[in-house]
Structure 1
Amino acid sequence: MEYVCDAPHNRTWFRLVTEGEAATESLEMRHAVEKHYRRERERAADSFHPATTVFIEQDIGKEDHIKRAMPLFLTLRDEEGNALATAMLPPRGRSSQDLGGGCIIVGPGNADPYPEHADAIAALADHFGMPLDRANCYPYRR
């Protein structure tokens, strides 16, 4: 995981950078972030165009491209490392219509994370300079 930013009350946002981390997040949070991570990583990899036709050099720059092209998968953790919320933001944390308003943020079992973690989500919004309001980011609202 990579550090992203601090949030109030000793919570921290981290970026999930491997499929294994996404798998662990899925287990801990009881939702399907691993499936989405895998799909988005594959989509980003498919969009890579090598700078050379030399076979052994064709993957140079591929991982950097994937990191730039795929959405950001983030986890909110408390000071003991417990998973509290999961977020998917557009690539590079910039607004995009590709994600239906730009983001998805869920709690354990796809529950609404806003009542308990609105201040932490606001810290993430400030960090990226984009709105992360419940109406646009929580997909299961009634």
Structure 2
Amino acid sequence: MEYVCDAPRTRTWFRLLTEGEAVSESLEMHHAVEKHYRRERERAIDAFHPTTSVFIEQDINKEAHIRRSMPLFLTLRDQDGAALATAMLPPNAKPSGGCIIVGPGNADPYPEHADAIAALGAHFGITLDRGSCYPYRR
């Protein structure tokens, strides 16, 4: 995981960098972030075009391309490391929409963590409102 930013009440946002981290997040949070992570990583891999025809050099810059083109997968953690919410933001956190933020079991994280979600939005300079980012609202 990679540190992203602090949030109020001793919580912290981290970026999930590997499939293993996504699997752990899915298990701890009882949702399917690993499925989305795998799908988005495969899309990024399929979109990669090597800049050389020399076989041994074809994967140079592949991981950098994947990181740039994949959505950001983030986890909100408390001071003890417990997962509180999971977010998927557009690549490079561009304000183009397409964010998803959920709590454990796909529950609504906004009642408990709206201030932390606002801190994440402020960090990236985007608005992460419940109406746009929580997909299971009723």
TM-score by length of 2: 0.99
What pairs with 1:35-50 in structure 2 (closer than 5 Å)? 35-50=35-50
The residue that corresponds to 1:16 in the other structure is: 16
2-structure distance, mates of 1:13, 1:57: 35
Indicate yes or no: 2:124 matched with 1:128: yes
How many aligned positions are there?
A: 138
Distance in 2 separating the partners of 1:30 and 1:13: 19
Match of 2:136 among 132, 137, 140: 140
Q: Which residue of 2 aligns with 1:69?
A: 69
Gaps of 5+ in 1: none
Structure 1 position 115 matched with structure 2 position 111? yes
1:112 Cα offset (Å): 0.0
**Unaligned stretches of 5+ residues in structure 2:** none
Provide the C-alpha distance between the structure 2 equivalents of 1:6 and 1:33, rounded to a whole number of angstroms: 22
Runs ≥4 residues deviating over 4 A: none
| Shift of residue 102, structure 1, vs aligned partner | 2.6
Using the size of structure 1 for normalisation, the TM-score is 0.96
State the partner residue of 1:28.
Answer: 28
Give distance in 2, aligned partners of 1:102 and 1:58. 31
Report % sequence identity.
80
Please state how far the C-alpha of 1:95 moved relative to its aligned partner.
1.8
* Structure-2 separation of matches of 1:24 and 1:139: 22
Across the aligned residues of Structure 1 and Structure 2, the Cα RMSD in angstroms comes to: 0.5
